[in-house]
Chains A and B, each alone.
Chain A
Amino acid sequence: MAATALQEHEVAHHFDDLEQEFDSHKLGMWLFVASEIMMFGALIVGGLFLLYLHPDAFAQGRPRLDWRLGALNTFFLLTGGFTMARAAAFAQKSDQRKIQQNLVLSLLFGFGFLVVKTIEYKAKFHHGLLPGPAFHGEGFTSLHAHVFFGYYFVSTGLHALHVLIGMGLMVWCLILSRKVKFTRSYYTPIELAGIYWALVDLVWLFLFPLLYLVG
């Protein structure tokens, strides 16, 4: 293995020390996550309002979603979050191999999420459960069923995009793990990717009940 030695991380010159740099990056990431929570939060409030406006659409639309697939996706995301935390823990112990293993596991769980999502979406297309004028689902008495499915695609689609971005961050960490030495005092990229994945999990924990469960 030890073909090329891993580089030491260099602190950017506008910082006084590594601790200031790490703290700054972490705070920045948390603030960014806060902004994403506001964005998804507004979307979820919008969904709650649509539920209030068209309760029949939600009551008839929800049974067409398979809550077991939703639960499986919840499992994938949460476990992926757990393995990210493990990766961060191993980073502090400078165990490069274990870091990479856990990153790969997180990626696999993320991939699993996207596979399940694809299965769900394909089923919707097949049954005509589409947004807006494209909707041609059968067995609905609600005049606004298309609103439920439109909202379903927008909210889960935007979330899935963020899952993809989160997986991109994991890939970035993997690439870095081959070049840079992670230590007790420097494991910033993995910490930041973990924080981002926590956001992805948090949003899903609201979307899942709103779309799949209540009623």
Chain B
Amino acid sequence: MRAGIVSAVGDALPLLRRFAGETRLRRWVDAWLDKAPPQTRFYWRLPVEFAVWLSACHSEPVSSGTKDRVKNPPKAVGTACLSELAHFEAMQLEVLNAPDPDSPSPCEHSGSDDILRAHPSARLGIYHYPVFRIDKKMKSLPARGMEPSFVLLYRANEACRWLLLPPRVAQLLAQAAQNRGSLHEALAFLRRLYGHVDERFIRGELIDLQRLGVLLSPD
């Protein structure tokens, strides 16, 4: 059973397998199965559960986002980066398999107080290492970034794509998704947090996200 799950995780997270190596991957999967065995009945979600567990074990703390710098990076830099890589690859899997939206039409920005409704595939991640730039041709893991990156993953034409978001736009999206609020409410949240928000800039960013299909039209 374990061999099958190690293989499934490795197949689903090929960059992790490549950079961590089979032995370390197997050790991690063993630890995961012992300490936090699968709670999902869906086989395709096993790598996601594993990656979330791994990143929870090894990730660095992230505060509210902007101007956030970790003063004491962990000693096991490779492990921290790999856990973020696992997380990023697992999120791609989630994005690819996420349900389709009820009304799949991306649209033009249509009003000032629209309810923000994201495509079901959209996911936000914050990464200290530029794991989203890792590919199979790279020979070593990248160095830690100066600041965390806010990465939006989404599905377009059945492929997973990502883009970097300005921290405040990312926070606005996350806040809106959490509270299912309107753009107006989300902007008010940011104002409370930062005092000043460039509303025009953020609206422009949201229009771009709508064009990409990440934000959906109001019902």
Q: Do A and B bind each other?
A: no
Which chain B residues have a beta carbon within 8 Å of chain A's beta carbons? none
Which chain A residues have a beta carbon within 8 Å of chain B's beta carbons? none
